[in-house]
Chain A
């Protein structure tokens, strides 16, 4: 990957981050459009694998972005996507801390929370739609998705155990 492409990747994740609300995973739909559909840096399977590996490993949610970058261009790619997505979060907190907490600030904060919440839900649903539509193995993937949702809703099994169980199951069934 050329340095220009690397810079463009960094800038794309940076531009996404500025609009990030409600977690990095809600941006997955847009990331997919860029790295899979437009540039073909990753296949759809590699994209989903990044999310799967991050869910199975300890660490914050944004680690799927790190592994995605690493799959695209090694350490340089990992730094481009991770720093791109994090950079605003390294700057704005310092600014906000030094502004002081005025009444208008509190009001604005609440308005942003309430206003951006529903937009974030729409983004999360978009991510779901993308991932469910192209689930691996058609009905086998669908069965695992449905079983996971049911178990998470009805029981208190830790999610990571379900991921490992599905991994074990997946290793032994033909796809």
Chain B
């Protein structure tokens, strides 16, 4: 990525089909988060965006309401080919994985009374929890040295994890406060 970071993007996709296929390919490679695979395809292989453009678009997707990957597909597709492009990228991104996951779930449901299948699901579930815990640790490390950030994260955990308050309540109070503090801190 470093080598290519200074390079400009190549020609944009001309057909909605290209977007559909590219995002279908991304989705089929994506285990545990699509970010790496989106970057690899869109920046390195297809060169539809420069590394800098990618990061900018990704930052917007992260902040916009809704899942980041979905927002990114819509932003990228719309940027090149309008609504048709957005639909193509999103269709590619969600269609095959949905079919696969429902097939997997159907198979598991068929055999759920078999003790080994239930045991396999327990094992997979525990490993998935381990994966989520690792991600949470990695995210938490970015807070090092930020006193306000640590306080906000602790409050957010106390409210949702311990007091079981709705996420909406926490976002409208703590979230708004935290964004306001961040807004002010750049321009005292």
Binding partners A and B: yes
- Report yes or no: B74 in contact with A122, Cβ–Cβ below 8 A: no
Whole-angstrom distance from the CB of A7 to the nearest CB of chain B? Answer: 18
* Distance A56 CA – B117 CA, assembled complex (angstroms): 14
**CB of A89 within 8 Å of the partner chain:** yes
Collect the chain A residues with CB atoms within 8 Å of residue B68's CB: 23
Known: A62-B69, A122-B155, A148-B134. A33 touches B175 (CB 8 A): no
Within 8 A of B (CB), among A20-75: 20-25, 27, 29-30, 33, 45, 48-63, 66-67, 70-71, 75
Known: A58-B97, A61-B34, A61-B69. A109 touches B137 (CB 8 A): no
Structural contact, B128 and A163, CB atoms closer than 8 A: yes
Choose from B60, B86, B119, B154 the contact partner of A109 (Cβ within 8 Å): B60
B122 within 8 A of A: yes
Check A20/B120 contact, CB under 8 A, given A63-B101, A148-B131: no
B130 lies within 8 A of A148 (CB): yes
Q: How far is the CA of A167 from the CA of B162 in the complex (A)?
A: 30
List chain B residues, Cβ under 8 A from A136: 122, 125-126
Q: Are B167 and A170 in contact (CB under 8 A)?
A: no
One digit per residue, 1 when the CB lies within 8 angstroms of any chain B CB and 0 when it does not, for chain A 78-105 equals 1000100111111011101100000000
B62 contacts A60, C-beta separation under 8 Å: no
Question: Known: A51-B128, A170-B123. Is A60-B94 also a contact (CB below 8 A)?
Answer: yes
B31 A78 Cβ-Cβ under 8 A: no
Q: Which interface class (under 10, 10 to 19, 20 to 34, 35 or more) fits A?
A: 35 or more
When A94-B74, A107-B183 are in contact, do A59 and B119 touch as well, CB less than 8 Å? Answer: no
Asked whether A60 and B67 contact (CB < 8 A) given A119-B152, A171-B117, the answer is yes
Instruction: State A137–B61 Cα separation when bound (angstroms).
Output: 38
Q: Which residues of B sit under 8 angstroms from A145, Cβ to Cβ?
A: 126-127, 129-130, 133
Query: Is B174 interfacial (CB-CB < 8 Å)?
Result: yes
The reply to whether the CB of A166 lies closer than 8 angstroms to some CB of chain B is: yes
Cα(A67)–Cα(B94), bound, Å: 13
Cβ contacts under 8 Å, A27 to chain B: 167
Chain B residues packing against A (C-beta within 8 Å): 27-34, 59-71, 74-75, 78-79, 83, 86, 90, 93-94, 96-98, 100-102, 104-105, 108-109, 116-137, 139-140, 142-143, 146, 148-150, 152-162, 164, 166-168, 170-172, 174-175, 178-183, 186-187
Q: List 16 A-B contacts (CB under 8 A).
A: A19-B175, A29-B161, A53-B101, A61-B34, A67-B104, A88-B64, A90-B90, A109-B59, A109-B63, A115-B180, A117-B149, A122-B157, A122-B160, A127-B161, A152-B130, A173-B123
Task: Give 11 new A-B contacts, CB below 8 A, not counting A124-B139, A125-B140.
Answer: A19-B65, A63-B101, A66-B98, A66-B102, A78-B102, A94-B78, A118-B146, A121-B139, A125-B156, A148-B126, A171-B116
Enumerate the 7 nearest inter-chain pairs by beta-carbon distance, A residue then B residue, closest first. Answer: A170-B123, A122-B156, A59-B97, A148-B130, A89-B66, A126-B161, A115-B179
